[in-house]
Amino acid sequence: MSTRPFRADIVGSFLRPAALKAARQSHADGRLDAAGLRAAEDAAIADLVTKQADAGLLPATDGEFRRSWWHFDFFDFLDGVEIVELDHGIQFRGVQTKPRGVEISGPIRFDPSHPFLAHYSALQKTIEGSTGAVPKFTIPAPTVLDFRLEPDHITAEDYDGRDAIVDDLVQAYRDALAA
């Protein structure tokens, strides 16, 4: 493995393996408990970490295998942000996504019990026990929240419009990165 600066990098999101998709479906159907799903995620992530190392990548991610959505899962655990049903999805590569969006319902803050921190710790442990790569923490850019925010979905009295959320959103990201 090389040292920093990295010579190659990845976004961090990988296609879910068939076994993980099956485990997620079994969990959704009530045939697999949370511990069973976690074990399937752990196995898929360990395999992915090895594949990333075998490809010569110094950074390694968990493939976002514990997430349903690459962006909404992060936003959903920020205080003051709710994931809501919309009457429309977004067209992407000829397919319409599920009709989801964000709503600002209160002051935006980073919650120190955000599950992504546990996901990162689990990735660190997986890497320490195998490849020694550098764990990569993947989160959506703050601008993604703005992109997914419908004009009438700021219901918090704390903000009088889109521009008013910027300072709190920036601080929430600073807190996430420092956690």
State phi, psi for 148 to the nearest 5 degrees: -90, -5
Name the more confident of 37 and 162.
37
The predicted-structure confidence for 41-87, as pLDDT tens digits, reads as follows: 999 999 999 999 999 888 999 999 999 988 999 999 999 999 999 99
Distance CA 101, CA 88 (A): 9
How does pLDDT run across 86-140, given as a tens digit for each residue?
A: 998 888 888 888 899 999 999 999 999 999 999 999 999 999 978 888 999 899 9
Q: What integer pLDDT is reported at residue 147 of this predicted model?
A: 86
Average pLDDT, the chain: 92
pLDDT 10s digits, 21-52: 999 999 999 999 999 999 999 999 999 999 99
Separation between Cα atoms, residue 156 and residue 158, nearest integer Å: 5
- pTM (2 decimals)? 0.86
Question: What domains lie within the chain, and their CATH numbers?
Answer: 18-178 (3.20.20.210)
Is 139 in contact with 176 (CB distance < 8 Å)?
yes
